[in-house]
Amino acid sequence: MNHATTLAALHAALAEIHNPMQHVDVLNRLVAELRLVDHEQAWALNHQAEGLARMAGDDGKPYTQGLIDCFYWRSKLLFSEQSYHQALTYLFRASKLCQLTPPRQPNPHWLDILDTSFQSASLGSEDSDAFLASGIHSAAVHNALGVLLIVLGNYTEALQYLQRAKRDAIQLNDQWFEALVCNNLGFLHCELQSPEIALNDLAHGLRLLEAMTQFPAHLRMRAEILDNSGRAACALKQFEQAVSYGEQALALYHEIDWQHGQAECHNNLGLAYAGLDQQNQAIEHFMQAYELACGSNNIHEAIEALIRHGVLLNRIKHYQAARVILEQALISVNPTINQQKVYRAHQALADTYEALGDFKASLKHYKAYYELKDTVFNEQSVRRMQVLQTMYRLDEARNQAALYHLQNDDLHQQLADIQQINVQLAEWAKTDSLTEILNRRGLYEQIDLALQHQQTDAQGWAWIMFDIDFFKAINDSYGHDSGDEVLRGIAQRARLVLRHSDVFGRYGGEEFLVFLPHTSMQEAIVIAERLRMAIANTPYVVKQTAVNVTISLGIAWTEQVDDPERLTQLADQALYRSKAAGRNCYTVERLDAPVSQLSA
């Protein structure tokens, strides 16, 4: 049965049905069918369904399942209008109503009236909602909440709702929705830079799909899971596996003729081939991604293709072509919606113009990049920290539940083990996994602790911010694994020259921060110069090649600390001036009386 015939059957059913609850069910299904083809009529029927559902139950009481369905499809209508917060409100209402009904597979009476071929028509769609013809359940509601919260950038609550949706799907024995939720969890963990966890979720989703009849919706879901698996494999630098995942996904997207998915898949394949140093194939995939994204009005994926293409052209030293493509990306992106893409475009253009010898343009883009980078990095760090806390709480709750059932002889040992794990988790949350020094959260905790008992100090307080000069060139020339080795080496050398009382950590990317308590300005300069020489005087061995590495430093000094964040910003500004002055030097800024000093 095609879409038109399905609509005709639903409208005919309305004329035959006299039971109010069955009437609500048919209205809700009509909204589901019409939402993508007749938005206005879908809205009208949705309001009609709600009005009837509020009194369609026994003894004139509300029909709970009908209201759940109504609010779910209303959230879909609002989502298509980008009214995300309103959509969230109705999904929360649906979630509360789900708590009033026992977990079950809905089976409304009106399906008996329709021809059984109606369900096969629904399953002929590649839409993931195709399997909700018989009503909305809690797994669908909580999955939709998770997806919407991802769009809104609230990754902590998104993770909670997706995990809840997975539990609901298992309880309902709905393997389709369990696979769908696994895909969304995999995508979220990729966003959170946890590719190992992502691959576990995605592999489980694929196993569930293998046992199902392959309708178009299954094919699309399998393609999405493979595409996300390729993305996770790229993050783990398993580029050959990423290509395999991507090619399988692309074949499935072609089979169901879904251009949106094809564009995303080409973008991910471009990254995988770039990782294999097969630049021509990578460029071809980026160009196809851009063409398909424009054809399907997918602005997000089109801009992503331009930025990735431009970065790759920089890497292979085609700077003029990179300039044109990256400028196009910067013009196309909406800075109020996606700051991360703006930040990445400015960073790449700064490198492009520097290579072209246009230092004025390069500095302009470096300045824009530095102004945005803290905002972008802070958003990512907060999200990752919140998720760590969420997972920590979930693990702790599970451990406590398990403890309740332990025998008395084992109780104390198990409790001690869990407490030790919790201590390790807390330390891990404050430590940078690559360099094994403090991360940004750990830095701020240690600085706040040092300043809690701050007294007037004649010596003063200093911040040193430094980053690696031309670090991107190291990654491009020798690979990201070599770049990671340089970061670890710099952290080790810095620790050797810093004092025991100094607080040192990785601020983000290739940027490091040192907090110097009870330190005069002259002492801070001496320590900064010691750091600079420790890094610059001995080359690093990268893939059997001696590579000279230098750093640029910014020093902020004050007699009394009123605002630690202001000192960090001042050190960052001083670092920017060192970059502008030619790199491999330091700049000093004094908070209470501006004084600038440069040292080559």
Give pLDDT, residue 410: 53
**What single-letter DSSP state applies at residue 242?**
H
Cα–Cα distance for residue pair 47/71, rounded to 1 Å: 10
Residue 362: pLDDT band (50, 70, 90) is confident
Residue 144: pLDDT band (50, 70, 90) is very high
Q: How far is CA 470 from CA 203, 310, 355, 372, 491, in A?
A: 38, 18, 11, 19, 17
The residues, ordered by sequence, that sit 6+ positions from 421 with a Cβ below 8 Å of its Cβ are 399
pLDDT greater than 80 at residue 527: yes
Helices (DSSP H) in 333-407: which residue ranges? 339-356, 359-404
What string of H, E and C letters represents the secondary structure of 185-221? HHHHHHHCCCHHHHHHHHHHHHHHHHCCCCCHHHHHH
CB 258 within 8 A of CB 126: yes
Set 510, 511, 559, 565: catalytic member: 510
Q: What percent of the chain has pLDDT over 90?
A: 42
Residue 336: pLDDT band (50, 70, 90) is low
- Which has the minimum average pLDDT: 223-232, 357-366, 385-394, 478-487? 385-394
Among the listed residues 561, 589, 342, the one whose alpha carbon sits nearest the alpha carbon of residue 453: 561
pLDDT greater than 80 at residue 114: no
Q: pLDDT tens digits, residue range 551-566?
A: 999 999 998 888 888 9
pLDDT greater than 90 at residue 252: yes
Give pLDDT, residue 429: 67
Winning range, highest mean pLDDT, from 42-46, 112-116, 129-133, 200-204: 200-204
Mean pLDDT of 47-52: 90
Q: pLDDT tens digits, residue range 254-295?
A: 998 889 999 999 999 999 999 999 999 999 999 999 999 998
Q: What is the pTM of this model?
A: 0.62
Mean pLDDT of 447-457: 73
CB 1 within 8 A of CB 115: yes
Cα–Cα distance for residue pair 586/193, rounded to 1 Å: 33
Mean pLDDT of 499-517: 92
**Between these two residues, 110 and 500, which has the higher pLDDT value?**
500
pLDDT greater than 50 at residue 122: no
pLDDT greater than 70 at residue 402: no
Cα–Cα distance for residue pair 123/256, rounded to 1 Å: 13
pLDDT greater than 80 at residue 1: no
Cα–Cα distance for residue pair 106/222, rounded to 1 Å: 25
pLDDT greater than 80 at residue 400: no
**How high is the mean pLDDT of the chain?**
82
The residues, ordered by sequence, that sit 6+ positions from 336 with a Cβ below 8 Å of its Cβ are none
Could you confirm whether 40 is annotated as catalytic?
A: no
Length of the chain: 600
**What single-letter DSSP state applies at residue 538?**
S
